[in-house]
Amino acid sequence: MGEQSKPGGRVLREVTAGGRQTWRGGNMLYPVPAVMVSAARAGERPNIITVAWAGTVNSDPPMLSVSIRKERYSHGIISETGEFVVNLVHAPLARACDYCGVRSGRDVDKFGELGLTPVVIEGVDAPAIAQSPLNLACKVTQVIPLGSHDLFLARIVSVSVDERYMDEKGAFHLNDAGLVAYSHGTYFELGKKLGTFGYSVKKRKAGAKRPRKA
Amino acid sequence: MGEQSKPGGRVLREVTAGGRQTWRGGNMLYPVPAVMVSAARAGERPNIITVAWAGTVNSDPPMLSVSIRKERYSHGIISETGEFVVNLVHAPLARACDYCGVRSGRDVDKFGELGLTPVVIEGVDAPAIAQSPLNLACKVTQVIPLGSHDLFLARIVSVSVDERYMDEKGAFHLNDAGLVAYSHGTYFELGKKLGTFGYSVKKRKAGAKRPRKA
């Protein structure tokens, strides 16, 4: 978190035709999820770290990755235990999510400070955050040092969801939760719905307008 | 893309206390970026594949990852050339982004079909998409087979930005572009701004309300 690139002084080339500017390489892939990662070492209070460098990496088996700076408190815990929980963040958790990205678990009891509840989740000893709409229990399969960060690849061993987003037919409406995305220094709630997967090739009703070219 | 988990039939345990349900592991880390990845083999028409399993993995050096199914057309191109461009997606590109996730470059000339323009970008031979607000030129450093997908780790060697998001002082306002996030089967524009990085610990003005606990 807080690692957005600053354009200042890194212009390589101004391309006036087409109105583009070229910079040196920097981290500008947005929006990304801002998730709260919880972990605990036996006999110590559990901790939460906010991770924006996170993503899904494999469908079958289900796997995700989180990148964590080596000097962060949770880096040691996760390296040692090989377990963590990814807790999705919705608007009511946004402030807590930001807090867990700027304060260290070495100094602060984040669960206590934020009034969050650590709860048991199937498959790992790491605690989940009860207030999150969805928790992913993860077991580390590989750690890849990349420089500033270590990349933790992990199997998702179980998922815990808040039943308030299930309807009476058992369908789960995650997008009713008001999930938060992080983009270039700012947290956003998801906004206007643009379409569902495959909408660009769905058959149009007779008389409907042709899709515009982008 | 299109790889959202379906809860049907995977309930492990219903936890009535606390109102949570536990499922088997699945990919439910959202929202994620839905980016258009462009690549080209010498002498062939360039192609675009939409990737939702993408993210930043390292700050210094700047690196990102994309996960691509082995059977996808672009998998071969990127494996062979070791290069690709990540093109961020804003609302005007959302339909094209969806299209590039459901159609194969084996069958369709996606640039031509969608009216998109391949342009040169510093540092790689892979083409960028001129209509994207921001392009990241990437060189593959490592490929990690994970099962259904291969994880491509890559250095970001240059960034090209649309000058319409720069102000007269040279500051870049990426969040004015209307970026798109993908969450559980649906594309969303970013919506309500919740705060900027560090807002949870900023000093409040006298008389301002205390932050609520989440």
Q: Is B124 helix (H, G, I), strand (E, B) or coil?
A: strand
What pLDDT does residue B170 have? Answer: 87
Parent domain of A136:
28-201
CB < 8 Å to B122, chain A: 12-13, 22
Residue A12 lies in a domain: no
* Contacting A residues, span 7-26, partner chain B, CB-CB under 8 Å: 7-8, 12-13, 15, 18-26
Rg (CA), chain A: 20
Question: Is B190 in contact with A191 (Cβ distance < 8 A)?
Answer: yes
Domain of A123: which CATH number?
A: 2.30.110.10
> Residue A67: which of B58, B88, B166 has the nearest Cβ?
B58
Alpha-carbon distance values, B27 to A83, A166, B32, B205 (Å): 17, 17, 11, 42
Residues in chain B: 214
E-strand spans in A70-184?
A: 83-87, 118-119, 128-129, 134-145, 149-162, 180-183
Residue A16 lies in a domain: no
What pLDDT does residue A204 have? Answer: 62
Residue A178 lies in a domain: yes
Residue B203 lies in a domain: no
CB B183 within 8 A of CB B32: yes
Nearest CA-CA partner of A57 in B6, B153, B101: B153
Residue B209 lies in a domain: no
CB < 8 Å to A33, chain B: 29-32
Residue B214 lies in a domain: no
* Contacting A residues, span 88-147, partner chain B, CB-CB under 8 Å: 88, 91-99, 101-103, 114-116, 119, 121-123, 130-131, 134, 136-137, 142, 144, 146-147
Is residue A7's pLDDT more than 80?
A: no
The CA angle B111-B116-B117, to the nearest 5 degrees, is 95
What pLDDT does residue B18 have? Answer: 67
Residue B88 lies in a domain: yes
Residue A211 lies in a domain: no
CA dihedral A73, A78, A83, A89 (to 10 degrees): 40
Nearest-angstrom CA–CA distance, B62 and B69: 24
Residue type, B169: K
> Of the given ranges (A66-70, A167-171, A189-193), which has the lowest mean pLDDT?
A167-171
What pLDDT does residue A170 have? Answer: 87
The mean per-residue pLDDT over the stretch A71-79 comes to: 96
Give residue-wise pLDDT tens across range A129-183. Answer: 999 999 999 999 999 999 999 999 999 999 999 999 999 998 999 999 999 999 9
> Residue B31: which of A149, A179, A199 has the nearest Cβ?
A179
Question: Is A103 in contact with B3 (Cβ distance < 8 A)?
Answer: no
Is residue A6's pLDDT more than 80?
A: no
Residue type, A169: K
Nearest-angstrom CA–CA distance, B39 and B42: 10
Question: Is B101 in contact with A146 (Cβ distance < 8 A)?
Answer: no
- Which has more pLDDT, A127 or B15? A127
Interface predicted TM-score (ipTM): 0.89
What pLDDT does residue A71 have? Answer: 95
Question: Is B179 in contact with A30 (Cβ distance < 8 A)?
Answer: yes
What pLDDT does residue B203 have? Answer: 76
A190 touches chain B (CB under 8 A): yes
What pLDDT does residue B204 have? Answer: 63
Give residue-wise pLDDT tens across range B158-181. Answer: 999 999 999 999 899 999 999 999
Nearest CA-CA partner of A14 in B172, B161, B156, B136: B161
What pLDDT does residue B121 have? Answer: 96
Q: Is A146 helix (H, G, I), strand (E, B) or coil?
A: coil
The mean per-residue pLDDT over the stretch A96-101 comes to: 97
The total of structural domains in chain B comes to 1
φ, ψ for residue A135, nearest 5 deg = -120, 140
Nearest-angstrom CA–CA distance, B39 and A40: 42
| Exposure on the CB side of residue A69, measured as CA atoms within 13 A | 17
Which of A20, A85, A162, A201 best tests the B interface by mutation, with the highest count of B CBs <10 A?
A: A20
What pLDDT does residue B5 have? Answer: 38
DSSP category for residue A78: H
- List, for chain B, all residue ranges whose pLDDT scores fall below the cut of 50: 1-17, 208, 212-214
